[in-house]
Chain A
Amino acid sequence: MTEVSINPAALGPTASAKFRERVLPFILFGMVLVAIPFFGPSRTTMTLLNHIGINIVFALSYNMLLGRAGLLSFGHAVYLGLGGYFCVHILNWIDAADGGFWGNLPVFSMPIFGFAMGAAAGAVIGWPSCKRAGTAFAMISLGVAELMSAGAFMFDSLFGGEMGISGDRMAGPDFLGLSLGPLADVYWFIAFWTFFGVVAMFAFTRTPLGKLSEATRDNPERVQFIGYNPTRVRYLVFIFAGAFAGMAGGMSSVQDEIFTPENLSLIPSGAILIAAYVGGIRYFSGPIMGAIVMTYMGSNLSDYTAGWLLYLGLMFICVVMFVPDGIAGLVFGFWRGVRSPNRSEVFGKWAWQVSGVVLMIVSIIIIVEVAFRWSDGYGEVFEPFGLALSHTSILTWILAFVPLAAGVVLMRHAAAKYEEA
Chain B
Amino acid sequence: MTQSALKLINVHKSFGPAKIIQGVDLDIAKGEKHAIIGPNGAGKSTLFNLVSGLYSLSDGEVQLNGKTISGKRPFEINRMGLSRSFQVSNIFSNMSVRENVRCGVLWSLGYGYSFWRNVGNLKEVQEKTGHILNEVGLLEKANLPAALLPYADQRTLEIAITIAGGAEVIMLDEPTAGMSHSETDRAVALIEKASKGKTLLIVEHDMGVVFGLADRISVLVYGEIIATGKPEEIRGDPKVREAYLGEEADEIEGASA
Contact = CB atoms under 8 A, between A and B. Distances in A.
A224 to B, nearest CB: 4
A240 B94 CA distance: 22
B75 to A, nearest CB: 5
B118 interface: yes
A8 B95 contact: no
A209 interface: yes
Nearest to B108: A227
A20 interface: no
Given A1-B137, A211-B106, A219-B91, A8 B130 contact: yes
Given A8-B130, A204-B115, A233-B113, A211 B102 contact: yes
A132 interface: no
B136 to A, nearest CB: 9
B134 A225 contact: no
Contact of A225 (B74, B112, B127): B74
A7 B133 CA distance: 12
A221 B90 contact: yes
Contact of B114 (A208, A219, A225): A208
A387 interface: no
A386 to B, nearest CB: 51
Interface centre among A204, A209, A229 (most CB of B within 10 A): A209
A214 B161 CA distance: 16
Nearest to B109: A208
A210 interface: yes
B115 A210 contact: yes
Interface in A192-233: 203-204, 206-212, 214-215, 217-219, 221-229, 232-233
Contact of A215 (B92, B127, B134): B92
Contacts of B115: 204, 207-210, 236, 240
Of the four ranges (under 10, 10 to 19, 20 to 34, 35 or more), the interface on chain B belongs to 35 or more
Interface in B228-243: none
A233 B115 CA distance: 11
Contact of B75 (A210, A215, A224): A224
A127 to B, nearest CB: 15
A226 B161 contact: yes
A233 B164 CA distance: 20
B95 A225 contact: no
Nearest to A214: B95
A9 B126 contact: yes
Given A8-B123, A207-B117, A218 B98 contact: no
A11 B75 contact: no
Main SS of chain B's interface residues? helix
B38 to A, nearest CB: 23
Given A6-B139, A240-B115, A211 B103 contact: yes
Given A1-B189, A224-B75, A209 B114 contact: yes
A6 B103 contact: no
B95 A218 contact: yes
Interface in A303-353: none
Nearest to B133: A11
A206 B119 contact: yes
Given A203-B118, A207-B117, A224 B74 contact: yes
Nearest to A282: B94
Contacts of B161: 222, 226
A39 B14 CA distance: 73
B99 interface: yes
B210 to A, nearest CB: 23
B72 to A, nearest CB: 11
A223 B137 CA distance: 23
Interface in B191-220: none
Nearest to B84: A225
Contacts of B79: 227
A229 to B, nearest CB: 5
A206 B120 contact: yes
A11 B129 contact: yes
Contacts of A40: none
Contacts of A206: 118-120
A212 B103 contact: yes
B114 A8 contact: no
B29 to A, nearest CB: 23
A292 B135 CA distance: 46
Contacts of B31: none
Contacts of B92: 214-215, 218-219, 222
Given A204-B115, A214-B95, A12 B120 contact: yes
A169 B6 CA distance: 65
A322 B106 CA distance: 37
Nearest to A217: B94
23 contacts: A3-B134, A4-B134, A7-B130, A8-B123, A8-B126, A11-B129, A12-B126, A208-B106, A208-B111, A208-B114, A209-B114, A209-B115, A210-B115, A211-B103, A211-B106, A212-B113, A214-B95, A214-B99, A219-B90, A222-B92, A224-B74, A227-B79, A236-B115
Closest 3 A/B residue pairs (Cβ): A227-B107, A8-B126, A224-B74
Given A8-B127, A215-B103, 16 more contacts: A6-B130, A204-B115, A211-B103, A218-B94, A219-B91, A219-B92, A219-B93, A222-B86, A222-B161, A223-B103, A225-B52, A227-B79, A227-B106, A227-B108, A233-B113, A240-B115
